[in-house]
A and B are shown apart, each in its own frame.
Chain A
Amino acid sequence: GQQLNQSPQSMFIQEGEDVSMNCTSSSIFNTWLWYKQEPGEGPVLLIALYKAGELTSNGRLTAQFGITRKDSFLNISASIPSDVGIYFCAGQGNNDMRFGAGTRLTVKP
């Protein structure tokens, strides 16, 4: 089952607002990843984080790998309608990759 706690479960925001979501885990991970999934498609990688404390940006997206290696957050600045979708965090240890339950983002124009 899921080992990652992702919050919030869903968000309804106005276009232009900033968004923040996070993931916590009882396990330590070597790599944290953030994915976006749209209906009928598989998840697409947004950001990968490899070191504790690492802060990485990809356009309007910023993510951080927590110092304890048990948490991560994703921020989206100045949201636009095409940001709509489900965002998943994922932690990778030595073997498999574990996903959070997702944050469903709705952006109202």
Chain B
Amino acid sequence: GAGVSQTPSNKVTEKGKYVELRCDPISGHTALYWYRQSLGQGPEFLIYFQGTGAADDSGLPNDRFFAVRPEGSVSTLKIQRTERGDSAVYLCASSSARDSYNEQFFGPGTRLTVL
């Protein structure tokens, strides 16, 4: 079956622009996560959705970052007024439950480059 997909795979933008990154989770997975991975580092948690609601957004670095999941499936990570430091790979993962550990399946990521 289809895994987690993310679009675009690469995004190059200029400093100050707005970008949207999309994640299509595995069908039926209620939990969805966004991570940011900088070069040479492990993924850093940004936000977690259970259904349509953001259950934990403690990892969002500042108010330029926002994510939505209006129908409980596809999610969009939105970054306003991008900065060069936002350049990273943005990973999305989904899992079937949250209360007990269920494996998070990761997408291939979107590589964001801010010039």
Contact = CB atoms under 8 A, between A and B. Distances in A.
Interface of A: 1-2, 4, 6, 30-31, 40-45, 48, 50, 88, 90, 92, 95-102
B41 A101 contact: yes
B101 A48 contact: yes
A33 to B, nearest CB: 8
A102 B103 CA distance: 19
Is chain B's interface secondary structure helix, strand, loop, or mixed overall? loop
B103 A48 contact: yes
B56 interface: yes
Nearest to B101: A31
Given A41-B106, A43-B91, A92-B101, 10 more contacts: A42-B91, A45-B103, A88-B42, A88-B43, A96-B59, A99-B41, A100-B42, A101-B42, A102-B41, A102-B42
